[in-house]
Structure formats: structure tokens, C-alpha cells
Amino acid sequence: MALYLNAAFVFAGLTAVLAIGLIVAERFLVNYGICKLDINAGEEPLEVEGGQTLLSALYANEIFIPSACGGKGSCGFCKITVTSGGGPLLPIEKPFLTRNEIRSDVRLACQVKIREDIFVRIPSDLLNVKLFDASVEAVRELTYDMKEVRFKISDPEGILQRPGQYVQVQAPSPEGPIFRAYSISSPAYETDVVELVVRQIPDGICSTYIHNLQEGDAVTFTGPYGEFYLNEDPDTEIVCVGGGAGMAPMKNIIYSLYDKQPDRVCWLFFGCRTTQDIFYLEEFKELAEKYPNFNLIYALSD
Ligand SMILES: Cc1cc2nc3c(=O)[nH]c(=O)nc-3n(C[C@H](O)[C@H](O)[C@H](O)COP(=O)(O)OP(=O)(O)OC[C@H]3O[C@@H](n4cnc5c(N)ncnc54)[C@H](O)[C@@H]3O)c2cc1C
Ligand code: FES
């Protein structure tokens, strides 16, 4: 028995050493040179340095793919179609992909390393995502762990968002900048502002960074992202159900809705634990008085 265990440990040790050796060799010894990165069968492919991930190469060329985990392969947000040159599908990618996506060459951009010319397809919505520089316009405490933070955008063109979409805020961390997703809570007609409703997560890098921001501080974010947004069909009744930071996209959807379509029927069900967790109640009561088709229900569990 001891002999078998020893053999297993030696084998595992050798495999680990070999794997580390290969990673080091690839990092320092292999030079893939300049590779072509073709997007949507474009006439002029980008020229990028081989050896980096597809996500990094796209980011360096101001093409921003959602990446809530910052490229660690744990969020599954960075899906794009790689028609050629992406190498074999990695085991880390499989749990995030449906069978249909695998058949359609969908990959996680953060896991695909560029080793040769590569051909990808990116939806036009994602090609319109921009990087924004902004400054903190206002900070408001909503509850003991929830803050509303308003970012004033420097670019005079502002942001064109669909109510329900989100941005990715950049925060500093010991390992370099990280990105986290936050739903936009300001309505679509406020094009010069992005407002967020952020819950403080204990020891959370980005939520702590946002909670410590002061008026006038500079911030960077990319967006807008996301396929969850307001259905503009005038005959569709809207039902919003959520709690805590889930308020952010619902607030955006509701205010955007009544700005454009004041006769639409909408229900808001907002769940809280205690009265301490309640916020925006007065604002929504005012809205419900103005728009009789807006129905407001706050529910407390404790
Ligand atoms: C599409 C999308 C929209 C989002 N919109 C919002 C929003 O409007 N407002 C908002 O506040 N958040 C929102 N989030 C969550 C947000 O992106 C971050 O995940 C969250 O703020 C934690 O990030 P962090 O850097 O502070 O924590 P991290 O440093 O990433 O995590 C620190 C620790 O906290 C744990 N943790 C992470 N998230 C949670 C959580 N939610 N509850 C408990 N523990 C957690 C982690 O496992 C880790 O152990 C959204 C997420 C997505 C994917
Ligand atoms: S960025 Fe999260 S899985 Fe790729």
C-alpha cells in the first residue's frame, strides 16, 4: 500500500513539475510573433502580439468584452465565437458552454491564447461598448450597506444604454486593475450620468472601492453591456421582482418606462429583510401617485 502511495505522489509531483516547466517555457521561451486578429471577416485584420489572451488583445484594441471575473475563467461572461485559430477547447471553458455553443465555436475569450492568426465573430452591440472616464458627482447613503453613486461622464456624447444594462467599473487591486459588473440605475434619458446602487460586500475589492469614493474622484468604466433590458412593446405588462442591489436595473427600467410610455402597466415587488433595508420607497410612492398604472409592493421578511 505504502509503495503505491509513494508511486502516486512521485507521479503527481513529476506531472506538476512538468506542467510548471511547460508554462514557464511558453511564457519566456516561445515567441509567437505578430498574429492577425480578424473580426467579423473584416477587410483589415488587427495585428496583435502572439502569446496573450484573446480578451487582452481585444481590450488593448478598445474592444471591450464582458469579463466580470477579470479573466480568471470563473464568470463565463467573455463568450465570443472563434471560427479559426483558437486551438482546442479547454476543460475550464466547458462548464460555461452549452452543447449548442460548443458546436457553434463559442469560446471564453479569456482562455483562448493567440498562437497563430485567429478569426472571431463579435456581435455589433459589443463593438459599440466604450471606455468612459468620469468623475463622482454625488454619493448618497441608502441603507447601512447600500450606497447610490453618480458618475458624471466626461465624453460630451455621453452613454446610450438600454434600461436594464450594466457597466464594468475598474478598481485598483494589489494584482493590478480589476473589473466588476454593476447595473445602471439611472434612466436612459440621463445620457451624461451613470448612477449605480452598490452593496458593500465584506472585504469585496470593488464594492469597497466604490463605497470609499468621494465627490470629485476620477473613475473609469466600460459599457453598456447585457441582453437583459426593457421590452418596449406597449401592450406588454412589466413585472419587476427583486431585493437589495437588484433594485438598480429595476429603478432604471421603471423611470425610463414612465418617461416614454406613461400608460404602460408596471408592477414592482421589492423584498427586504427589515425596515432598515428599505430604500427608494418615498420616490416610488411619488411615482405611483403620478402614474396610476404603476403598482408598488414592498415586502418585509422579518
Ligand atoms: C450583471 C451583473 C450586475 C451586477 N449589478 C450589481 C449592482 O447593481 N449592485 C451591486 O452591488 N452588485 C452588482 N453585481 C455584483 C458585483 O459585480 C460584484 O460581484 C460585487 O460588488 C462584489 O464584488 P467585489 O469586488 O466587492 O467582491 P470580490 O472581491 O469579488 O469578492 C470578495 C468576497 O466576497 C464574496 N462575494 C462576492 N459577491 C458577493 C455577494 N454578492 N454576496 C456575498 N458575497 C459575495 C466573494 O466570493 C469573495 O469571497 C452585479 C453582478 C453582475 C454579474
Ligand atoms: S472573463 Fe470571466 S470567464 Fe472569462
Three-state SS annotation for 21-40:
HHHHHHHHCCCCCEEEEEEC
CA of 94 to the centre of ligand 2 (A): 12
pLDDT at 177: 87
Q: What band does 268 get if pLDDT is binned at 50, 70 and 90?
A: very high
> Is residue 8 scored above 80 in pLDDT?
no
Q: Please, are residues 89 and 108 in contact by the beta-carbon 8 Å criterion? A: no
The atom number, within ligand 2, closest to the CA of 110 reads: 4
CA of 97 to the centre of ligand 2 (A): 12
Give the binding-site residues of ligand 2, using a 6 Å CB cut-off. 67-69, 71, 73-78, 108, 110
Average model confidence (pLDDT) across the chain: 92
Round to whole Å and give the CA distance between 299 and 288. 17
Round to whole Å and give the CA distance between 300 and 7. 59
Q: Give pLDDT tens digits for 139-149.
A: 999 999 999 99
Q: What band does 152 get if pLDDT is binned at 50, 70 and 90?
A: very high
Which regions of 85-225 does DSSP assign to beta strands (E)?
106-108, 118-121, 130-141, 146-153, 166-171, 178-183, 193-199, 218-225
Locate 92 and state its grid cell: 475550464
Q: What is the mean pLDDT of residues 51-75?
A: 92
Q: What band does 44 get if pLDDT is binned at 50, 70 and 90?
A: confident
CA of 168 to the centre of ligand 2 (A): 13
pLDDT at 60: 93
**What three-state secondary structure class fits 18?**
helix
> Is residue 17 scored above 70 in pLDDT?
no
CA of 89 to the centre of ligand 2 (A): 14
Beta bridge partners of 168: 181, 222
Taking CA atoms only, the protein residue closest to ligand 1 atom 45 is 201
pLDDT at 4: 65
Taking CA atoms only, the protein residue closest to ligand 1 atom 14 is 182
pLDDT at 28: 59
CA of 184 to the centre of ligand 1 (A): 15
Q: Of residues 123 and 10, which shows the higher confidence score?
A: 123
Q: What band does 70 get if pLDDT is binned at 50, 70 and 90?
A: confident
Q: Of residues 256 and 125, which shows the higher confidence score?
A: 256
Q: Give pLDDT tens digits for 94-117.
A: 999 999 999 999 999 999 999 999
The atom number, within ligand 1, closest to the CA of 171 reads: 25
CA of 251 to the centre of ligand 1 (A): 19
Probe target for ligand 1 pocket from 67, 168, 182, 186, with the most ligand atoms within 8 Å of CB = 182
Locate 83 and state its grid cell: 471560427
pLDDT at 175: 84
Probe target for ligand 2 pocket from 77, 107, 126, with the most ligand atoms within 8 Å of CB = 77
Dihedral, CA atoms, 211, 213, 214, 219, nearest 10 degrees?
-140
> Is residue 24 scored above 80 in pLDDT?
no
**Report for 42-56, 165-179, 205-219: range of highest mean pLDDT:** 205-219
Compute how many other C-beta atoms are within 10 angstroms of the C-beta atom of residue 249. 24
Phi and psi torsions of 244, nearest 5°:
55, -130
> Is residue 16 scored above 70 in pLDDT?
no
Round to whole Å and give the CA distance between 271 and 292. 22
Residue 291: name the closest of 269, 263, 260 by CA: 263
> Is residue 31 scored above 70 in pLDDT?
yes
Q: What band does 26 get if pLDDT is binned at 50, 70 and 90?
A: low
- The ligand minimizing its distance to the Cα of 76 is 2
Q: Which residues contact 10 (CB under 8 A, 6 or more apart)?
A: none
The atom number, within ligand 2, closest to the CA of 69 reads: 2
Q: What angle do CA 40, 46, 47 make, to 5 degrees?
A: 145
CA of 162 to the centre of ligand 1 (A): 22
Q: Please, are residues 74 and 66 in contact by the beta-carbon 8 Å criterion? A: no
**Choice among 20-24, 202-206, 252-256, 257-261 with the minimum mean pLDDT:** 20-24
